[in-house]
A and B are shown apart, each in its own frame.
Chain A
């Protein structure tokens, strides 16, 4: 191999590696933070790999438990609390170490140290503690998940049904102002959501759609119908007209042709469009804040949680909850995205 191509290859792989790291590191950071316990959050230096259990040392001194945790930082046991109150111990274990134990268990385990010898034991951490906490402390978190799903579902439905019909018309019919229309479609997207949200709220209030998911979905759809029409028009014009004409000649009506020929061929593109619609609805918090503050979506709940809480591990858990469905959805349909712009292969 000559030197030039070696350098080129090295640069190429370095570039790729940087990209991957830039994407994966923040994601991993979120994931690991979301399973931290409070104690780990304040450890310094922060450990990338979260603990799964804690090594504890219990001493019975002056009729109190001296409760210490093995600190990786000091390479020794760190005294955290002195108490004989089991309730206090239980709450401390739960809040600071994410360890869930009952008073009886603590009493049974710890009382062994009363013979004077220090007691060493390992408690398992509850890795999902932050997620559970997130749902229990953020009121209406479960409702918010449902809201997000409903809003995203409506957005997909509205923007796909209107957008794809518009896209079909732009691709297949010649009419005055067709070129301008497809340009205007993009202009619609240029308005920032915040700028449109207030007038939108006025409309929604008049229609009694404020604080409803359908109202929110209508607002999300405004931009998405345009994008869907734009994308689908390129998909539909990629489908050879002769495929439709053959269907007419061989006995199908226009509607039959659309449902049996055109639509199945456009499915990959439509699925890709549905991803855009989904992500737009799922990730938005600003529009939801203005239009549906009393009936929040998941992203709005997390937005508020991050803003108001100092517990970053809870915020991280919320973020992961928000990311997961989007990630799953994207992975399912990733195969179709490549086909989005290109022609339907024959």
Chain B
């Protein structure tokens, strides 16, 4: 039995706006699952349906074998950290954390003990009698975390909880959240549009786009084995370079050809690519899978460099090929004013996508 199952889940607003289109997803016990996607992709709606804050139009949500579609939020045994933290401003930190426990009519002494315990864990014990207005953004975030921990939920829901923090705090809170997850062992679902956050937190990532699931997999799968052009484009920064190429066959070998270069495809593609002969497909290459070469024999094409973005540990070379912008990541250090042509070859993994369906060709 899976911990949480979403079966044919659909959400339709105002009769014809499809926010979630028939998604199926299973979540294992104790897993840290991240829903990742651009804004408007339905990730937050999915989470809100699981929390019970949004009605389900069609499909089932099954938690530990029980259908919870029609349960009120309070009866679902979930707890949630909101994007705005949603700390109640008219209550002290203590009252905020104790709110859920008081509603459960727990003993006062037990509540106090419990609140102090989670406050200590979230390191907000010093501010326990303050009001939220007297706290910084990071501290409020910790109150939200403590409040969510206090109820000992079966399921932790986190709706972009780090998006209101500054960059540095975001990274350290990220680590803290992961620690909380590991310590409690509760299943967590985390919604974000920040792929770096998703990569660093997730056991599995669900990439969503326009109400559907594009790909489910571990962070490494998602990055190195992107199934669709959308995933290849959305994951990774800078994102994958897409080049239109025509497939031609010569002597049992397959080549990708365009006006700038002709490139022999790996033999592992032979089977899948054979029906695309003469057609235009999309070659997807991650920026670090290009290499700069000095030798004319090795080069695949010349890149017309327009900009160098130094990143310290590496540089991003921005150039143009056949009028389209390309980005290459290299460990070489350049002079900022380097311009002109650079010799480039493909060195490593690359994807080929069907131009119409945007799906991978293997």
Contacts and interface: CB of A to CB of B under 8 A. Distances in A.
**Do A and B assemble together?**
yes
Interface of A: 240, 242-243, 245-253, 256, 260-261, 264-265, 344-346
Contacts of B151: 250-251
Q: What bracket does the count of chain B residues touching chain A fall in?
A: 20 to 34
B137 to A, nearest CB: 10
B84 interface: yes
A251 B90 contact: no
A62 B99 CA distance: 90
A346 B74 contact: no
A245 B73 CA distance: 9
Interface of B: 51-53, 72-74, 78-80, 82-84, 86-90, 99-100, 103-104, 132-133, 147, 151, 157
B293 to A, nearest CB: 53
A242 B86 contact: yes
Given A245-B82, A248-B53, A250-B151, A346 B87 contact: yes
A98 B147 CA distance: 68
| Most central of B73, B80, B87, B151 by chain A CB within 10 Å | B73
Contacts of B78: 249
A interface: dominant SS: helix
Contacts of B132: 346
A104 to B, nearest CB: 64
Given A246-B80, A346-B132, A346-B133, A252 B86 contact: no
A249 B88 contact: no
26 contacts: A240-B86, A242-B82, A242-B84, A245-B51, A245-B73, A245-B82, A246-B86, A247-B99, A248-B72, A249-B51, A249-B80, A250-B74, A250-B100, A250-B103, A251-B74, A251-B100, A251-B103, A253-B72, A253-B74, A256-B103, A261-B88, A264-B90, A345-B89, A345-B133, A346-B84, A346-B87
Contacts, number: 68
The 9 closest A-B pairs by CB, nearest first: A246-B86, A250-B100, A242-B86, A248-B73, A251-B103, A251-B74, A242-B82, A249-B80, A251-B100
A249 B133 contact: no
Given A253-B74, A265-B89, A346-B87, A248 B52 contact: yes
Given A242-B86, A249-B52, 4 more contacts: A245-B86, A248-B73, A249-B79, A253-B74
A245 B88 contact: no
Nearest to A254: B72
A153 to B, nearest CB: 26
A291 B130 CA distance: 52
* Residue with the highest number of chain A CB atoms closer than 10 Å, among B53, B86, B133: B86
Contacts of B51: 245, 249
Nearest to B75: A251
B49 to A, nearest CB: 13
Given A345-B89, A346-B87, A252 B82 contact: no
Contacts of B74: 248-253
Contacts of B87: 346
Contacts of B133: 345-346
Given A251-B151, A252-B74, A246 B82 contact: yes
A335 B89 CA distance: 18
A260 B52 CA distance: 20
Nearest to B87: A346
Contacts of A245: 51, 53, 73, 80, 82, 86
Contacts of A344: 89
Contacts of A265: 88-90
Nearest to B159: A242
A265 B147 CA distance: 19
